[in-house]
Chain A
Amino acid sequence: MIGILDLGIGNLRSLSNAIHQNGFDSQVIKDETSFADLSHLIIPGVGHFQPAMAAVVDRKLRAPIHAYVATGRPLLGVCLGMQLLAARGTEGGEVDGIGLIPGTIKRLTPGAGYRIPHVGWNVLMTKRAHPVYEGLKNERDFYFVHSFAMVCDAADDVLGETDYGGPVTAVIGRNNVVGFQFHPEKSEVNGLKLLENFCLWDGKC
């Protein structure tokens, strides 16, 4: 069973539909009680870092998420859900993240001529091979909506970047944890492929 964590921050339905399209069952979960039954866990998210992280803390999910990851099962964060995986966020003041990926969430600074938020289709340039990229060609387009992005401490954690007035982290990965800054569930055939690959992934690299 693939669990979609409901932090009260949106886009659960489109994600569960995309997973259903790929022939998998998913379940929306609100707390840690069903973590044991999961083969895969997805943390979606639309909104702001601080209230989302507050929801993680209020529901006492931080330690269970770490415990889940320690079992080796795959974890995926999508958009804000990916950002929450970082050590810290800066949106609305500095705040600790879940802390699975060393790095900081920082506001995009693309320079003159670029609007914030970064909205629309943009090209994913993959940095290294990974099971979630199986069968995916490089430089495909994915759908982004964000004003902040992860700056990883370790370059090796960056699996893919896009260009928006400079490189922007688009895919991260460390052991059995991956994250997409863009929305795979809104990225048509290539997004569906990434989600399918994630759902088939055993968490090993």
Chain B
Amino acid sequence: MLRPDFERNPRLDFEFNRRIPYYILAGLAFLWLLSGIYIVGPDEQGVVRRFGRMVRVVGPGPHWHLPFPIEKVDVPKVTEVRRIEIGFRTVHPGPPARYVDVPEEALMLTGDENIVHCEVVVQYRIKDSPKYLFNVRGQRELVKDASEAALRQVIGRHKIDEVLTEKKSEIQQEIQKKLQELMDLYDAGISIVLVKFQDVRAPKEVDAAFKDVASAREDRERLVQEAEAYRNDVLPKARGQAEKMIKEAEAYKIERVQRAKGDVARFLAMLREYRRAKEVTKTRLYIETMERVLPRVKKYIVEGKGTLNLLPLEKVVRGGAR
């Protein structure tokens, strides 16, 4: 490109040739300075050390630091949530995800000396990047060890039934709190985002017995339900029957009273007539009744007194009955 022309201007060419090494040197120096440019991603923080001493922390964007060996920069991902698995490992993120158990991590003693199987996920992120970078070695191991310790310590304070059912979420929070305390004790610059039970169950050796308890509890519910069904069947019927009895009684009462009123009305009517002509009415009623009664009965008209025992009464009666 820049091809010097010896013919035309040898003096100038000589001058130029003499300067080339300086240009190269300047270029190298320039490149050296350029090597200090770095970009901090939106999820990162830049931590700059000058001769090993931390001098500044910068946010996302392009930055420049004094080139090596004076300054160097670390860009930890501060918003990234990291994840630790206890008691299991994800072997294939899926879908469908596949896991393997790690029994020696998962099995642990509870406060009532039972053994429970816990699988836990711990999520954490960097809270303070200089502390995270410079205060501890093996950050991930630290979180892992502390998680296991906190998990077992908290589970050890609770009974197995609390762990399996009622107090699950409280226990998760307790573990998280304990773990955060440990992180603060170690001054690790780590914030525990979440501690979550992936799976909590009885060990497989005793699983059947635990399932039987669950089904026994269901049996109890079922028996109670059945009894309540019986109650709901019987009581309304009984109430209905009671109502029926009362209504029948009321009907009887109405009947009695109305009939009485009817009878009385008839009697009073007759009485009124009777009072108008006592003897005649009496006689009339008597004869009318006789007229109705006598045709259907056997009648013997016997003269004289004391003759009744002469009559073959038995024969008469039997004949009449026939």
Chains A and B belong together in one complex: no
Residues of B that sit less than 8 Å from A by CB:
none
Residues of A that sit less than 8 Å from B by CB:
none
